[in-house]
Amino acid sequence: MTARSPAAASRRPTAGRSARVAPERASLPSGAGEGAGLYVHVPFCSAICPYCDFAVSVGAAPRREAFVRDLLREIALWREWREPFDTVYLGGGTPSILGAGQLGRLLDAVRSHLPVRDDARIFLEANPEDVAHEAVSAWRRLGVHTLSLGVQSFDDRELRFLGRRHDAAHAQGAVRECVAAGFDTMSLDLIFGLPDQSADTLRASLDTAVALGPDHVSCYQLTVHEGTAFGRRRARGRLVEMPEDEQAARYALIHQVLARGGWRAYEVSNFARAPRHRSRHNMKYWRHLPYLGLGPSAHSFDGARRWWNHRGIEAYRAALDRDERPVAGSERLTREELALEALMFGMRTTEGIDLRDFRRRFGVDIAARNRRFVGDCLESGLLERAGDRLKPSTAGLAVADTLAARLEL
């Protein structure tokens, strides 16, 4: 389960904005009392995958230890944060590349300096190559509730194409080890839409996932970004992305196979066996709730303002050396921008939009303002209406961004 906010991931630092941001509350959606989310970015991997455009690097043990010390300093600089956290997400990068002692120091500091609830859920991202009985046992002792395993595929040829360091047999063994360990929720990630991925190979990976019995599955469409190894291959004509109609067919296949196995979609890319296994942390992004991000490139949101940390480790460390929060920039969102984000996030989830709450927050009656378009979508089956909720159907999830873009504010 990736924890990065869709809006945050798309935003870039704006020159000249203030680097000091104090948390403040704005008009939040109903249910905001459930608590804020804390995201901690660990920017290290054993190797950089050719499709990755996140702020990650390869770092030897001394560099990782130096980063842990930096992160401890940043945590202490946020003592004044008052919004209680009920989720703590260790993401990256590959947080499992850190030793259990280092992860323990980070969690101890978070609990010491920040208002973390006693019942807060702890999330940890891991890669199959880091899974061993001793490591998994240590993660459980640290209080990790949800483990998210970056499998990506159970096909060896696809794994080689994606630059992964594990093979299919290793991935299956890692999933079995983690399922047996008894985490409250065990999740795995898959990637679809590879250029030469057939329906048969995708179905085989999905069938393997179903047979292994995780509680949660995330299926992300391969996206080729400029500046990545895949982006450079595409620019040279050495990589051609899968046509959109074939991607749509693969997406429909994912829903068919997982639904038949008992995993229901609750967001465009996420499927859970039961509501209790849905990502409580990621749902804060989709519900437009506050979150604080720590570590290089991490983004934060307090209900009205968004800010982001320096992407590079050196700039991040330099700010800490000055005893400053390593914030690179910030922006205050207008009511229209907040409404647009809430609309986009809502259309990506099976919860959809609470029309009455949307009117309260933004003064816009979505259904009335878009009466003809909403009516057409209800008739065609892309949208569904349940009381005051307007939500996408399974077919609507496949075109969620298009639906949001067509709805006028």
DSSP 3-state helix, strand, coil percentages of the chain (rounded to 5)?
45, 20, 35
Is residue 82 included in any domain, yes or no? yes
CATH number for the domain harbouring residue 47 = 3.80.30.20
Mean pLDDT for all residues in the chain? 91
Is residue 218 included in any domain, yes or no? yes
Structural domain boundaries, residue 244: 6-286
Whether 126 and 228 share a structural domain: yes
Whether 113 and 14 share a structural domain: yes
Whether 153 and 273 share a structural domain: yes
For residues 184-203, give the mean pLDDT.
97
Q: Which residue has the tokens 């296949």?
A: 253
Cβ–Cβ < 8 Å for 328, 310: yes
Last residue of a domain, one of 286, 301, 319: 286
Whether 55 and 182 share a structural domain: yes
Whether 361 and 274 share a structural domain: no
Is residue 308 included in any domain, yes or no? no
Whether 251 and 357 share a structural domain: no
Report d(CA 294, CA 84) in Å as an integer.
15
Q: What is the pLDDT of residue 219?
A: 98
Is residue 345 included in any domain, yes or no? no
Is residue 332 included in any domain, yes or no? no
For residues 12-27, give the mean pLDDT.
35
Is residue 326 included in any domain, yes or no? no
345 three-class SS: helix
Whether 59 and 150 share a structural domain: yes
Cβ–Cβ < 8 Å for 187, 149: yes
Distance of CA 306 to the CA centre of its chain: 17
Cβ–Cβ < 8 Å for 128, 149: yes
Whether 54 and 196 share a structural domain: yes
Q: Predicted confidence band at 20 (pLDDT cuts at 50, 70, 90)?
A: very low
Number of structural domains (the chain) is 2
Is residue 313 included in any domain, yes or no? no
Q: Predicted confidence band at 55 (pLDDT cuts at 50, 70, 90)?
A: confident
Distance of CA 295 to the CA centre of its chain: 15
Given a cut of 60, is residue 18 above it in pLDDT?
A: no
Report d(CA 95, CA 361) in Å as an integer.
37
38 three-class SS: strand
192 - beta bridge partners?
221
Cβ–Cβ < 8 Å for 31, 43: no
Whether 123 and 211 share a structural domain: yes
Report d(CA 269, CA 364) in Å as an integer.
28
Q: What is the pLDDT of residue 179?
A: 97
pTM: 0.91
Report d(CA 41, CA 5) in Å as an integer.
13
Whether 41 and 139 share a structural domain: yes
Last residue of a domain, one of 238, 254, 286: 286
Last residue of a domain, one of 236, 266, 286: 286
At 145-177, the pLDDT tens digits run 999 999 999 999 999 999 999 999 999 999 999
Whether 22 and 155 share a structural domain: yes
Whether 103 and 203 share a structural domain: yes
For residues 220-233, give the mean pLDDT.
94
Q: What is the pLDDT of residue 33?
A: 59
Is residue 338 included in any domain, yes or no? no
Give 380's contacts (C-beta < 8 A, 6+ positions apart).
none
Radius of gyration of the chain (CA): 21
Enclosing H/E stretch for 397: helix 394-397
Give 52's contacts (C-beta < 8 A, 6+ positions apart).
45, 228
